Amino acid sequence: MSQERSDQNCLLVFAAVPGSDIVKPQIVEAWGRQRAEQLYRELLDNAASVVAGISHHVAFAGGGDPGELRAIFPKAESFIPQQGDSFGDRLADAFSGFFKHGCESVCAIVSDCPELDVHDITRAFTLLGNSTNAVLGRLRDGGFYLVGCDKKSLPLLSIPGFGGPGSAKEIAGAAQKHDLNIALMRVLYDVDEIGDCLRWRGAHNS
C-alpha cells in the first residue's frame, strides 16, 4: 500500500491465490482439484468485473505472492497479504492499515459471492458516509460477503468468532454497548458447496 494514499473510501477484495490448498476444499473433494480451481477462477473473474470501475485493492491469502491474482485484477492499486488467524483478525489487520493511511471508510468483500454487484458496494459506502458506523452484508450460511467500517467501529472485528454463524448477536450487543450504528445489507449466497455451484451455473447460463 502506498504511504501517500488518503482516499476517503477504500475497497478491499479478499481472495485466495488460485492453486492454493485453501481454495474450495469441499468442492475439491466432490469434483476434483482441477474442476474446483477452474470454478474459483470464474468466480474471481466475476468479482474482478464487479469492481473494475471502482478503485480497489486485493487482500490475498494462500501464498507469499498474489500470483495469478495480478492478472485477474489488473486494475487493483495494490496487493496485500492477509494477516491473522481468523476472518475478523484478517479484516482488522487490513482495515487498520488503511485507516492509518488516511481512509475514513473501508469495505471488504469476498470473491465468491456471485450475487454481489456494484450497487451493493456503492450503497455500503453511502451508508458509511451518512452516520452509519458499520455495514454488514450477510450470507445465507451465516457469514458475511461485505463488511464495512469507520474507525470508531473497528473494535467490532475483534469479537471472537466474527463472521461465524453465531456472531450476529454478539456484534449487535457490542454495537449497542459502544453506541455504534449498524446497517444490514440484503442477504446473499456464496459458493462453497456443490449445491451453490449448481445454482450459480444455472443462473450464469440462463
Q: Cα separation of 175 and 153, whole Å? A: 8
Q: Superfamily assignment of 9-205 in CATH?
A: Spore Coat Polysaccharide Biosynthesis Protein SpsA; Chain A (3.90.550.10)
Q: How far apart are CA 145 and CA 139, in angstroms?
A: 6
Q: Do 77 and 66 meet the contact criterion of CB atoms below 8 Å apart?
A: no
Give dist(CA 143, CA 161) in Å, integer: 10
- Residue in this structure with the C-alpha cell 470464474, named with its chain if needed: 42
Nearest to 110 by CA among 164, 196, 190: 190
**Predicted structure pTM score:** 0.90
Task: For the chain, give every domain's residue range.
Answer: 9-205
Helix (H/G/I), strand (E/B), else coil: 61: strand
Residue pLDDT tens, the chain, 206 long: 433 344 689 999 999 998 776 667 777 787 888 888 888 899 999 999 999 999 999 999 988 899 999 999 999 999 999 999 999 999 999 999 999 989 999 999 999 999 999 999 999 999 999 989 999 999 988 889 999 999 999 999 988 888 876 677 788 888 888 899 999 999 999 888 878 877 776 666 55
Residue 58: enclosing H or E segment and its boundaries?
A: strand 57-61
Per DSSP, the three-state class of 194 is helix
**3-class SS of residue 199:** helix
Cell of 69: 491474482
3-state per-residue secondary structure call for 98-164: HHHCCCCEEEEEECCCCCCCHHHHHHHHHHHCCCCCEEEEEECCCCEEEEEEEHHHHHHHHCCCCCC
Q: Residue 175: how many CB atoms within 10 A of its CB? A: 19
User: Which residues, other chains included, contact 67 with Cβ-Cβ below 8 Å and sequence gap of 6+?
Assistant: 17, 18, 19
Residue 140 backbone phi and psi in degrees, to 5: -65, -25
CA 14 to mean position of chain CA atoms? 5
